[in-house]
């Protein structure tokens, strides 16, 4: 059960009304098949149910479907021992989604509505049994194989064909259950020649269009036997930016932990911000600054990528200009593992949520 489109039956749909200036809300319930009933079905029948849940009458021709003018969020809710769920830092996602919509010159979805709708959305689907239950067995491998609810809010434009910006966007919230994101035998990364984001572009916005280049670069990397791709900056072609859909950290020989500083070409990851905070609390000197691929090649002893889907995933090596630079003898590094344990422990409720990151549902 990796990353697939096994959608929950109930989705949230709202549209901005430019006349009233409000958001017209509705709930779209495709069916009322409980999770237990769905699990008892044949695979073919289940596929039909899932397909139907992904059908909602949104405009076919619009700025999102034609020009990739749209943005989205990825947020997880983690099952707790007491049967509740904890959404991890949803206020941060609400804020980023608001900023993304503003960045696309669309009426931005109010943050309080985002939070309220997300909570209500999970409650409604839970009533039909769609929330994975906490499993003690997850603790054995520090939640490496644990399940969570992946919540995907996104913006979708009204019908349109010319060049313009969205004036009456939809916001949809849907979800699916997920476990680990990266699959495959190795955790090798390769530096790509492609450019994900340019200064004055949209790299800082979680927008659909950014993903096209990322997906092409990732496919090329996978076809060559790598798990992940690393992008360099567009101007100097020297400084590391991020992975295909995750931020990146480097531990140097002197113990410092470096991650590229935010700017208009780097996505401000919530996992990134959380990892910085957790590492500093461990006494690690964390620096947000430029880091060149040459410096990584010379001084890096541990590397990991971070994201809601990826968690904290170790990278065993980076290949650049045909040469492979191996970190920590290809074994997961000690610092990344320690931070991952803190992060997952907090998310699944095994460690006290001292920073108030979890919102209980």
What residues make contact with ligand PLP under the rule CB under 6 A?
74, 206, 242, 245-247, 267, 269-272, 306-308
- Residue number, 251 or 272, with CB nearest to ligand PLP: 272
Non-local (6+) Cβ contacts of 10 within 8 A are 27, 28, 29, 30, 121, 124, 125, 128
250: which 2 tokens?
A: 């480097």
With respect to ligand PLP, which residue has the nearer C-beta, 176 or 271? 271
Residue with tokens 């958001």: 23
Distance of closest approach, residue 260 Cβ to ligand PLP, in angstroms: 11
Q: Which helix (H) or strand (E) holds 283?
A: none
**Of 33 and 278, which has the nearer Cβ to ligand PLP?**
278
Shortest Å, Cβ 26 to ligand PLP: 27
Q: Which residue reads 């979805």 in tokens?
A: 109
Q: Which residue has the tokens 């590391």?
A: 240
| Residue (of 178, 179, 76) closest to 122 by Cα position | 76
- Residue 65 or 209 with smaller CB distance to ligand PLP: 209
In the bound complex, what is the minimum distance in angstroms from residue 207's beta carbon to ligand PLP?
9
Give Cβ neighbours of residue 3 (< 8 Å, ≥ 6 apart). 150, 178, 181, 309
- CB nearer ligand PLP, residue 59 or residue 263: 263
> Least distance in Å: CB of 269 to ligand PLP?
3
Residue with Cβ nearer ligand PLP (30 or 207): 207
DSSP letters, 247-303, are EEEEEETTS-EEEPPPSTTS---HHHHHHHHHHHHTT--EEES--BHHHHHHHEEEE
Nearest distance from C-beta of residue 218 to ligand PLP, angstroms: 11
Helix 90-103, helix 111-127: angle, nearest 10? 130
How far apart are the C-alpha atoms of 196 and 227, rounded to whole Å?
17
Question: Do 174 and 8 contact (CB within 8 A), yes or no?
Answer: yes
**Pick 271 or 328: Cβ nearer ligand PLP:** 271
**Least distance (Å) from ligand PLP to the CB of residue 114?**
14
Report, in Å, the least distance between residue 73 CB and ligand PLP: 8
> CB–CB of 230/240 below 8 Å?
yes
């Amino acid at each position: 059960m990796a990353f697939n489109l096994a959608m929950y039956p109930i989705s949230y749909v709202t549209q901005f009304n430019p006349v009233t200036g409000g958001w017209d809300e509705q709930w779209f319930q495709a069916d009322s098949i409980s999770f237990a009933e769905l699990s008892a079905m044949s695979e073919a029948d289940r596929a039909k149910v899932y397909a139907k849940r992904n059908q909602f009458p949104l405009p076919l021709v619009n700025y999102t479907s034609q020009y990739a003018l749209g943005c989205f969020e990825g947020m997880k809710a983690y099952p707790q021992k007491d049967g509740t769920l904890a959404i991890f830092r949803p206020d941060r996602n609400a804020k980023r989604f608001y900023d993304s919509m503003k960045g696309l010159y669309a009426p931005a979805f109010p943050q309080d509505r985002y939070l309220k709708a997300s909570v209500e959305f999970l409650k409604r689907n839970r009533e039909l049994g769609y929330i994975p239950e906490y499993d003690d067995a997850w603790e054995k491998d520090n939640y490496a194989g644990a399940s969570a609810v992946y919540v995907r809010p996104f913006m979708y434009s009204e019908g349109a064909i010319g060049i313009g910006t969205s004036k009456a966007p939809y916001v949809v919230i849907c979800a699916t259950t997920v476990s680990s994101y990266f699959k495959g035998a190795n955790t090798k990364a390769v530096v790509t020649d492609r450019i994900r984001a340019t200064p004055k572009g949209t790299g800082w916005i979680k927008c659909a269009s950014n993903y096209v280049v990322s997906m092409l670069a990732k496919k090329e990397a996978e076809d060559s036997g790598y798990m992940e791709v690393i992008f360099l900056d567009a101007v100097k072609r020297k400084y590391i930016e991020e992975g295909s859909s995750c931020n990146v950290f480097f531990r140097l020989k002197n113990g410092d932990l470096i991650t590229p500083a935010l700017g208009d070409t780097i996505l401000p990851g919530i996992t990134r911000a959380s990892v910085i905070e957790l590492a500093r609390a461990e006494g690690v000197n964390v620096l947000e600054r430029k880091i060149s691929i040459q410096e990584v090649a010379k001084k890096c002893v541990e590397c990991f990528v971070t994201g809601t889907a990826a968690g904290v995933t170790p990278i065993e090596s980076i290949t650049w200009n045909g040469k492979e630079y191996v970190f920590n003898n290809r074994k997961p590094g000690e610092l990344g593992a320690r931070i991952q344990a803190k992060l997952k422990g907090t998310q699944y409720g095994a460690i006290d949520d001292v920073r108030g990151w979890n919102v209980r549902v």
